[in-house]
Amino acid sequence: MVDPVFATRVMGLHWAARGAGFAALGAVMALGQAPYDLPVVFVIGLGLVFALFMSTRSARGAAWLGWALGFGYFAHALRWIVEPFMVDAARYGWMAPFALFLMAAGGALFWAVAFWLARRMGGKGLRLVIALAVALTAFEYLRATIFTGFPWANIAQAMLDTPAAPLLAIIGPHGVTLALLLVIGLSIWAAREINTLIYPLAIVVVV
């Protein structure tokens, strides 16, 4: 868990420094996706995200957290989209970085709106955590369906090589996403309330 004082200090940094840090966190979280398949890294990263989100001071700050985090995450998780441009690199290779940037920036917009909406409507404490879990799940659903959809790098995909994988056949990827976000978010909220690491660490081990 991130100490509340540390999280507050992070949120007090210059916006550019915060953005770089959030993007780096997102890139590390992408290690939960194939081909790395490190779900523990992903889960711990989500815990950090909730701790930072609870320390945001405004909806605008929350949106910046969501966008920068999403940009780093999608830029790393979707890096494979540059490969088709390398088939004829002399002719099309120059397009590759633009394609990756635009895909990452576009995916991050969904996260930015989710974070903004959750901070705007969520209130404080427990309600704020639940609001982010619901909003991020909803906008991940939209990302997977709107304009024919782009479901790659879905949050639930990080759980494919875990005991939670069978739940995908029961409640679907978006159900798993919501459940995962609620479990992690509530564990971080509880840890902040009782000032202990025991509960969130237990949740990480279980997941």
**201 pLDDT exceeds 60?**
no
Q: Which pLDDT value is given to residue 202?
A: 47
Name the least confident of 37-41, 90-94, 193-197: 193-197
Name the least confident of 1-10, 15-24, 51-60: 1-10
**Residue labelled with tokens 């000032």:** 195
**153 pLDDT exceeds 80?**
yes
pLDDT-derived band at 157, boundaries 50, 70, 90 = very high
For residue 150, give the nearest of 186, 112, 108 by alpha carbon: 108
- Tally of domains in the chain: 1
Question: pLDDT averaged over the chain?
Answer: 90
- Full residue range of the structural domain in which residue 117 is found: 4-206
**70 pLDDT exceeds 90?**
yes
Q: Which pLDDT value is given to residue 22?
A: 97
Cα separation, 19 vs 27, whole angstroms: 12
Q: What are the tens digits of pLDDT across the range 106-141?
A: 999 999 999 999 999 988 889 999 999 999 999 999
* Percent residues over pLDDT 70 in the chain: 90
Q: Which pLDDT value is given to residue 5?
A: 63
If you average pLDDT over residues 37-59, what whole number do you get?
94
Cα separation, 23 vs 70, whole angstroms: 7
Q: Which two tokens stand for residue 200?
A: 């969130």
User: Strand, coil or helix: what is 151?
Assistant: coil
pLDDT-derived band at 89, boundaries 50, 70, 90 = very high
User: Strand, coil or helix: what is 195?
Assistant: coil
Cα separation, 62 vs 158, whole angstroms: 23
Q: Which pLDDT value is given to residue 194?
A: 75
Give the helix ranges, DSSP H, for 12-151: 15-29, 39-53, 59-77, 89-92, 96-121, 125-145
Q: Which two tokens stand for residue 45?
A: 């990263």
Contacts 24+ apart (CB under 8 A), 130-134: 130/182, 130/185, 132/50, 132/53, 132/181, 132/185, 133/178, 133/181, 133/182, 133/185, 134/178
More confident residue, 4 or 192: 192
Q: Which pLDDT value is given to residue 1?
A: 46
Q: Which two tokens stand for residue 17?
A: 């420094």
- Residue 146's identity, in one-letter code, is I
